[in-house]
Amino acid sequence: MEFTEWIRRRTDDQLRALVSARPELITPVPAHLEGLASRAGSPSAIGRVLDRLDRFTLAVVETLAVHDKPISKARLRTVLGRGLSEGKPEPELTAALERLRELAVVYGPDSALDLAPGVRKVLDDPAGLGPPAAEAFRHHPPEQLAEMADEIAPGTEGGGKQRLAAALAEPGKLIEEVSPEAQAALEQLAWGPPTGRVPNARREVRLESARSPIEELLARALLAAVGEETVTLPREVGLYLRDGRIHRDLLAVPAPLEGAERDQKLADRTAAGQAFAFVRSVEELCERWSLEPPGVLRTGGLGVRDLKRAATDLDLPEWAAALVIEVAHATGLVAAGGDLDTEWVPTTGYDLWRVKPTADRWVILASTWLHMDRVPGLVGARSAGARQERAGEAMPTSGEAGATVKRSDERDRPLNALHTDLRRGAASGVRTATLSVLGAAPGLAPTRAAIAGRLAWEQPRRRGPLREQLLEFTLREAEQIGVTGLGALSGHARAMLAGEDGAAVLAPLLPDPVDHVLLQADLTAVAPGPLTSDLNRWMTLAADIESKGGATVYRFGESSIRRALDAGQGAEEMLAMLERHSATPVPQALSYLVADVARRHGRIRVGTAGAYVRCDDPALLDQIVADRRAAQLRLRRLAPTVIASRSSRAVLVDSLRAMGYAPVAESLDGDVIITQLDSRRTEGVAPVRAAAPATGLAPDVAAAAVRALRAGDTAHLARREPVEAPGGQVPRSPATATIAALQDAIRQGVRVWIGYLDSQGNATSRILEPARMEGGYLTAYDETRAAVHRFALHRITGVAGLQ
């Protein structure tokens, strides 16, 4: 049965399953089922679907690929059973065949199973076997093949290539003739890869002139030269060396995961604590960048010093700080802004995110991390190695070990956070697959080796150093974000992955925020738990964080109180806030400190000249002018209460504060400029959205696509062949008569014969079935072209009826 006809005989439910599992086949929707079958056999489509197969299902495909003709299910079961490490291939074989039929990779009844067109071409060296002998020797000159056949298969008839193939069908005698060293070389190639490098591989060697083990093999056609320095093991020889087995140590089901048992409730509570800490880290980062945004590097990204500073402020390792920054950016909470996008500042979307409940905020961050294509773990890696990793990512291998990646070039620069080179297309897929493995073992913290082994079984064609590195990053980041706890997948993450309300599962596990602190006489405040969002922002503004842990310790100082005053707070307002949210009385020392800083705050005003200093107390200005530290400011007394400086206003304010004064900046109108904590905002980029799964499609879209395919296929099968127009002079008639005749033909649904001028002005003859006429054009089915066309009315020379 032809593959296209097999596709056509599939039921609508089976076609919907096919396009749902392989959505690339209907992007766009083909015109008919023949087009669908053709697209399913394209190399790119086949490569995509093979990448989704597990090790056993791929072994079924490889076994069918080794056989050139259709085979029965019973024969397939026998061949696969030889390679299994234990048990029999049932019922896994039946399930694998059903899936392969659903994916249109295998077709036909159980008595004659075959691969879809194009699959054998895409599978290079299936199961580590080389090409058949007829293909391996196709580039050898005919006379050389004839001479080789005369030596190893004397007395046989036919062409040299055919005689060699016949001799290699039973290569046992030839293998016994070679030396033990040559047999050892064959054993090394037997289980793949089947190719090797040999100097001067195309040399002509005879049996009597063969000296080395390689020459013994070349002379007997046990190795075929496929390049100047490349040889391959013919498939027939490989199968003989494998004793007829196509695979070895094959598992019909994946090996069980190994790891430490975890109490699921303890794991959930641990993950919830990490989730809360991660949300607070993102919030603290945005708040700090609201006040002091770091600059954008000329090459893009965040500077190394700014990353170190963020890690210090957040009390996190640099890799964890990079994770916070990258997730915040991917969520749309941080973006490049300011003049000419030269600073990293929070976006307007941050203000909307900040007012949501903590559990909802975590779900947004965790979902973004899961689906984003950026890899924070690569921050600090060398750019040369990263580029080569991306190149290797596009070349998945089916072998058991991927190629090594060289990590150097002439520049070899480390990658910065927020740099564009941190994107990796495989990142989201590896995260999803890793969490899926963790989800299959509730209450278990699998080892990294066990997870890597499971992923290798589930995605054998997607292997390589980058994916191993992505797995390591995923496990580390999942623990930091709160997706896992003690190495086990948390309940709220499991709900999020299942499309359920993960926030509802997480919310009861989060610590209740407290709305009070404990003020102490040493100018510190202890937060006995996580503070409410508003109180946390106010405390961060008015005090410096001294230590974190189960309880956060804040320290009030002159600079922190001045920071709050700069943001528009007043002394009475600050003391009232402390009294309202303190479980202990406000210490007298703290009250005095606030009052003293507020009394001195703003007595000096700095404006713009270059810049000027204004103060109602001339004695205070005398003190500034006399201060040696002010020499670099080049101050000049303009009036008893005014000093001018050549420095800018910002430099002058910072310098005076460094000297121990408490100036404030003022505008040209003399108004005090208040620095709001959240004044720095920019328009955010679109956050990362959950991409459609690679093997999923909305049911209504799949149903609509199948309906369109059926309708198009029906029209395709019912299409009429083109007919010839009548001979003789083309019809000619007045324009009014032509229009009237066409209108009658549309009403009556009859065919007409028209004369038509093409774009070069040549008169042609057409037979049409007019459908409608509008806008100076006639839409009709052209029987002479077997297609629907639009005809310009002014080019129709005339109309005549048909008998």
pLDDT for residue 796 = 92
CB 744 within 8 A of CB 752: no
Q: What is the mean pLDDT of the chain?
A: 85
**Residue from 514, 496, 513, 516 nearest 504 by CA:** 496
697 token code pair:
């499609």
Q: Euclidean distance between the first and final Cα of the chain, in Å?
A: 43
Q: Omega before 91 cis (within 30°)?
A: yes
CB 219 within 8 A of CB 206: yes
Strands (E) across 180-293 are located at: 195-197, 224-225, 230-232, 259-261
pLDDT for residue 5 = 92
> In the chain, what are the domain boundaries?
261-507, 518-599, 603-665, 735-801
Indicate the range of 159-168, 525-534, 603-612, 755-764 predicted with least confidence. Answer: 603-612
Span 200-208, mean pLDDT?
A: 85
Which one-letter amino acid corresponds to residue 293? P
pLDDT band at residue 308 under the 50/70/90 scheme? very high
pLDDT for residue 471 = 94
CB count, 10 Å around CB of 547? 12
pLDDT for residue 360 = 93
Identify any residues that bridge with 554 across adjacent strands, giving them in sequence order.
525, 545
Among 86-90, 280-284, 629-633, the range with the most confident prediction by mean pLDDT is 280-284
Span 104-109, mean pLDDT?
A: 94
CB-hemisphere CA count at 13 Å for 283? 25
CA 243 vs CA 15, 125, 170, 231, 236: distances in Å = 40, 18, 12, 22, 11
pLDDT for residue 675 = 59
pLDDT for residue 684 = 63
pLDDT for residue 505 = 94
pLDDT for residue 406 = 35
Indicate the range of 187-196, 542-551, 587-596, 705-714 predicted with least confidence. Answer: 542-551
The answer to whether residue 764 scores a pLDDT higher than 90 is no
For 558-607, how does the pLDDT look when each residue is reduced to its tens digit (9 = 90+)?
888 888 888 778 888 888 888 888 888 989 888 888 888 888 887 777 77
The answer to whether residue 210 scores a pLDDT higher than 70 is yes
Portion of the chain with pLDDT greater than 90, in percent:
35
Counted residue by residue, the chain has a size of 803
pLDDT band at residue 392 under the 50/70/90 scheme? very low
The answer to whether residue 383 scores a pLDDT higher than 80 is no
The answer to whether residue 391 scores a pLDDT higher than 60 is no
pLDDT for residue 155 = 75
pLDDT for residue 124 = 82
For 679-724, how does the pLDDT look when each residue is reduced to its tens digit (9 = 90+)?
566 766 666 655 444 445 778 888 998 998 888 888 777 765 666 6
Backbone torsions φ then ψ of 324, nearest 5 degrees: -60, -45
Q: Indicate the DSSP class of residue 644.
A: E
For 623-660, how does the pLDDT look when each residue is reduced to its tens digit (9 = 90+)?
888 888 887 777 878 778 888 877 777 788 888 888 88
Return d(Cα 727, Cα 732) in angstroms, integer. Answer: 14
pLDDT for residue 606 = 74
The answer to whether residue 408 scores a pLDDT higher than 70 is no
CB 399 within 8 A of CB 193: yes
CB-hemisphere CA count at 13 Å for 467? 26
The answer to whether residue 84 scores a pLDDT higher than 60 is yes
pLDDT for residue 688 = 62
748 token code pair:
């009556």
Strands (E) across 427-550 are located at: 444-446, 484-485, 488-489, 518-519, 524-527, 544-547
Please classify residue 344 by burial: count the beta carbons closer than 10 Å to its beta carbon, then call 0-12 exposed, 13-18 middle and 19+ buried.
buried
Domain at 735-801, CATH class: mainly beta
CB 178 within 8 A of CB 215: no
